[in-house]
Structures are given as C-alpha cells and as structure tokens.
Amino acid sequence: MSNGKTYLGVDIGGTSVKLGLVDEQGVIRYSEAYDVAFDRYETPILKTVLKSMKLFLAEHEVTEQELAGIGVSATGGIDTVNGVVIGSAGHIQNWEGSRIKDEMEKTFHLPTAVLNDANAAALGEMWIGAAADHRNVIVMTVGTGVGGGIIVDSKILLGANGLAGEIGHIVINNDGELCSCGNHGCLEHYGSTAALIRRVRDAASCGKIILSEEHEVNGRFIFSEAKKGNVVMLELLDSWIDDIASGLVGLVHIFNPELILIGGGVSAQKELFIDRLREKVMAGCMPHFSKYLELKAAELGNDAGLIGAVYYCIQQNDLVCDK
Ligand SMILES: [Zn+2]
C-alpha cells in the first residue's frame, strides 16, 4: 500500500462491477471487473457486489483498516442522501430498493458515499480529467442512452434527492416519439448512439441508403461511411448532431457553464462529431454565453465513474470533518 489515504472505488453497471483501489490523487492502483448478470440478476446485484469486494480486498491483501472510505458509482436513480437505488431505468430485477450505503457500511465499517454513474463520471472528469480546474461544467455522455452530470461551483448538482442531471430526458420535440421513460420526444430518443443507428436503419428501409449484409450497423461503421463522403450518412449525422445541440443550448442558457464535455465512444470522432457539435452549440447560444464556453471530449473513458465516486466520498468526508 502507498503512503496517504486509499479509497475503494466501486462502479456498478448493468453487466459488471468494477472495483479499484484509488489514492488521494485519483490514481487507480489496481482494478478488476466482476460479472453481476451471470444468472440474470436472480442473485441480487448488491449481493454479488459485496462478495466481489471481499474477494478483491483479499486478493490484494488490503484490510478495511487500511482504507479511508468507499465511493460508489451506480446505475439507475440513486437517492444520494440514503445511498438507496430508487429507480431502475434498465429494468434490472432485484436492483430497485437496494440499500447500497447501509449494506456496505455494515459490512466494511467504512464511510460510504453513493451516487448515480453519470454524476460520478462528471465528478471524475472535474477531479483529474478534461474538466480539471473548471468550476461550472456540463458533462454529456452519448452512448446507448444519453446521460449527464451538471457541476455548479465545483459541486455535482444532485437536486432534492440525488436524481438531478438526467439530461437525456429533456424534451426536444413535443410531438415526438415515445421514450423509454414514458414521455414523448426526449433528447435520449433522438441523440443517443442507438438513435443514430435507428436513423440509419430507417433510411435503409426506405431505400435512401444501401446496407450490405456484411456490415454491422454501429457507430464505427456510420462514421467510417461518413468519412468516405457518403452524403446520406453525412446528412443523418448532421440532423442527429442538431438534436444533441438543441439540448445543450438549453442547458447552456440555464447553467452558464464554462465547459461542456462529451463522453461515450463517439466522442473520439473529433472532426465529424465534436467539432461540428461545438459549431452548432456556439451558433445556438446567445453571444455572452458562448464567449468563454469550450466544448471538447471527455478524457477518462470507462474509469470516470470509479474515480468520480471516490472524489465524491472524499468531498463527503471533508464535509463531516468540517462540522
Ligand atoms: Zn425520456
């Protein structure tokens, strides 16, 4: 073990849990992932996670006395005050109602802080990632869904019970299609990678674009076709980026951030995605909002949640110590 405090970071996703020993500088010393969906969640995820944590600590010969706390990033709606799962957008059985904070504190006798994975990722980026040294940041993750976190004066915006930052469910089209949340016209339904793929498939089904069977339609394929100059693909990308920009422009006018970070696999597409999105967002904002605004790709990738959860735990412990 290194000098200084060490924290256990826990990032609970729908298919696996990632565990990591993280130091006070945000550096992950060791990390490992364990499957949580092996029996389709018949074994509750939390039970699997607790078991994996014991195993992980034993394998690395770390005792709970050597740790300063546990930071947990978890999928779904998290009541951050009580550390309980209160919503499960992915409809994972045996997950809603999980008392993460209580169970971990009871098992490991360590202060535990829990927050939603998108909010954790945003904090991770602010601690040691692309948003370091920034105080007002909007982080949007574009993947199978659209998630996000809003940082105001260096603190993650949690709202009344920890659910704030669900930026994928901003309505951008009142007459729009049904979203997984039950509402119509949400940004997530138009701006996720899944939505981009759906747009390409729709274009293929009405003959605007020819897809050969050997091609798996995914983000990588769509961007590689666009790079080759495929006009229909470029148009589809353009209207997809327009929709993402609409959501971000609204957020800029509410929160007046100095930085927007875009995460998710597609954020690696600089020219065809990040640069164009920046142009559209800047063009849509009132000039005094865009003057000092930056938009770029996030940096931490899959580690952001784990690191951010540890940072949240440190922030919470500091608050306790200040009292
Ligand atoms: Zn929605």
Q: What is the Å distance from ligand 1's center to 179 Cα? A: 5
- The pLDDT confidence band at residue 321, using thresholds 50, 70 and 90, is low
* Residue 250 Cα to ligand 1 middle (Å): 16
Residues 144 and 287 in one domain: yes
Given this model, what pLDDT does residue 323 score? 44
pLDDT for 65 equals 95
pLDDT above 70 for 118: yes
- C-alpha 171 – ligand 1 centre gap (Å): 7
**Ligand 1 centroid to residue 145 C-alpha, Å:** 10
Whether residues 17 and 157 share a domain: the answer is no
Residues 168 and 294 in one domain: yes
Does the pLDDT value for residue 161 go beyond 90?
A: no
Q: Domain range spanning residue 176?
A: 130-299
Q: How far is the CA of 186 from the centre of ligand 1 (A)?
A: 5
Contact in structure between 310 and 22 (CB atoms under 8 Å): yes
Cβ proximity of 85 and 125 under 8 Å:
no
User: Ligand 1 centre from 278 Cα, in Å?
Assistant: 24
Do 16 and 87 fall into the same domain?
A: yes
Mean pLDDT of 52-67: 96
Q: What is the pLDDT of residues 69-107, one digit of tens each?
A: 999 999 988 999 999 999 875 668 889 999 999 999 999
pLDDT tens digits, one per residue of 257-273: 999 999 998 999 999 99
In a domain, 123, yes or no: no
Residue 10 lies in a domain: yes
Q: How far is the CA of 14 from the centre of ligand 1 (A)?
A: 19
The whole-number average pLDDT for the span 169-193 is 93
**In angstroms, what is the span from residue 219 Cα to ligand 1's centroid?**
22
The enclosing domain of 58 has a CATH number of 3.30.420.40
**How far apart are the C-alpha atoms of 6 and 24, rounded to whole Å?**
6
Give the model's pLDDT for residue 40.
87
Averaged pLDDT, 284-298: 96
Tally of structural domains, the chain = 2
Residue 124 belongs to a domain: no
Q: How far is the CA of 89 from the centre of ligand 1 (A)?
A: 10
* Band of residue 14 on the pLDDT scale cut at 50, 70, 90: confident
Report the alpha-carbon distance of residue 158 to residue 51 in Å, rounded: 29
Written as one letter, the residue type at 78 is I
CA of 182 from ligand 1 middle (Å) equals 6
Q: How far is the CA of 308 from the centre of ligand 1 (A)?
A: 25
Question: Measured at the alpha carbon of residue 126, what is the angle toward residues 144 and 257, in degrees to the nearest 5?
Answer: 80
DSSP sequence for 243-278 = HHHHHHHHHHHHH--SEEEEESGGGG-IIIIIHHHH
CA of 105 to the centre of ligand 1 (A): 33
- Centre of ligand 1 to C-alpha 168, Å, is 7
